[in-house]
Amino acid sequence: MSTASKTIELKRVVVTGVGIVSPIGIGTEPFLDSLLEGRSAVKLIERFDTTDFPVKIAAEICGFDPSSFMDRKWARRMDLYAQYGVSAATMALEDSAYPVDEDPYAVGALVGSGVGGLYTFYDQIGVLLEKGPARVSPFFIPMMIPNMASACSSILLGLKGPVNATCTACAAGTMALGDAFSLIRRGDATAMFAGGAEAAVNQVGMAAFAACRAISARNDEPTKASRPFAMGRDGFVMGEGAGVLVLEEMEHALRRGAHIYAEMVGYGMTADAFHLTEPDETGEPAGLAMTRALHDADVDPSEVDYVNAHGTSTPLGDVMETKAIKLSLGDHAYKVMVSSNKSMFGHCLGAAGGLEAAATILCMEAGKVPPTINLEEPDPDCDLDYVPNVARVATIEVAMSNSFGFGGHNVAIVFRRWDG
C-alpha cells in the first residue's frame, strides 16, 4: 500500500488591523502617544474601597463606554473582560476594513484570557451567598467562561471560521496570536481576529494576587511601582484591557489594497515544567521558546533589533528573562533594544500579549522604540539595553514579543517590518 504525502505550502501572514482598549489609551493613536511619552497609568484604585486591601494601586481603564462599540443589551450580557475584547475586535475590524461578508467561514476569532469573567464570578457568588441559589443569574456561566471574548466577537462581527480561546495565564494573548498565525499559514483561515482580553482589577482579583505576593505594594508611589529590571522592584502592577490584531493572509491583503502594519513571521513555545508560579531561573525554557520562534521565522539572532519584553517587574522574572534573551541571542543580546510596556500600563495578564504585540508593530511603523520607565537604578543582574525612561528613534526591521505565564508557559512571536 502506498501512502501519499501532502505538502502544505505555508502562507505569509500580515497585520492589517489593530484594536486597543488599555489603561494608557483607547484606540491606537492615544495608546501609541502614551507609550512613546512614557506615561504611567498606575494610580490609586477608584473602582472599589481599598481600605482593607494591602495593595491599593492598579492601572485601571478610565472613560470606557461599551455602548460606543456594541448594543447596550449585548453589553449587559458580557463580563467586563469580554466587553473589552469585543470593543478591541470592533476597532480592529474598522481599522482593517476587512470584508467579512466576502466569506464569513474564512475568518475567525482567537482571543485569549487568563482568568475570564472575574467580575461576574465575584458578583454572582455574592448573590448566591446573600440571596440564595434561586437568584443566581442565568447568564452567570456564559458571562464568566474565558471563551466569550472570542465567541461574542464571532457573533457580533459575523465571523464563522475558526473560533477558539487560549487560557494560558499571562501567555494567553501571545499564544492566541501564535495559534491564529498558524491557522492562516496552513490555509485554515484567511484572516483571524486575535489577541487577549482581561479585567481583573476588582476585589477578588486584587486580594488573590496580593495573597500570593505577586503584586507591588508601593502604594505611596503608584507611578513608580512598576519598575521592570530596576533595583527595588517588588512585584507587578495589575492592569486590564484588550489588544486585538487582524492577522490576514498576505496575498489576500495585497489584492484588496489593505494597509499592512507588519508581517508576522515566527512563533515558538516551551514549558518550564517547574513550578506553579515561579519561572525556571535558568531561563533555558524561555530562551528556547525565543529560539524556536526565530527558527520558525527563518531569522538569525543577529537580525533582531528589538525585544518587547514580558518584563513584569518581579524580582525573579526580570532576571530570568534577561538570561533567556542572552541564551537565545548570544552576544547579540547586548546590541538589542529591550523594553517593557508594563512599566507604563501594568501587567494586563491574558491581555498583555495582545497589547504588547500591538505596541511592537505600531512602534515598528513609527520608527521609535518605547521606553522602560522607572529605570533609574538598574539591577546589576539585568544588564541589557532596556531603553531607559525615554523613547528612542530607531529602525526596527525584526522584533520579538515575549510572554510567560503562571504554570510555566513560555511564548515568543516575531514580526518583520513591512517594506511593501
Q: Which residue bears the cell 531603553?
A: 387
Q: Are 159 and 100 in contact (CB under 8 A)?
A: yes
C-alpha–C-alpha distance, residues 85 and 26, integer Å? 12
295 annotated active-site: no
Which among 412, 224, 233, 209 has a CA at the least distance from the CA of 319?
233
Alpha helices in 3-51 (DSSP H): 28-37
- 332 carries an active-site annotation: no
Marked catalytic residue, from 347, 348, 382, 409: 347
Is 275 annotated in the active site?
A: no
Neighbour-count burial for 32-62, b at 16+ CB within 10 Å, e otherwise = bebbbebbbbbbebeeeebeebebbbbbbbe
Of the candidates 167, 170, 348, 382, the residue annotated as catalytic is: 170
HSE of 286 in the Cβ direction (CA atoms, 13 Å)?
30
Which one of 310, 348, 382, 409 is the catalytic residue?
310
> Nine-digit cell at 123?
458578583
Q: Which residue has the cell 494586563?
A: 348
Least Cα distance to 353 among 310, 319, 384, 311 occurs for 310
Could you list the active site residues?
170, 310, 347
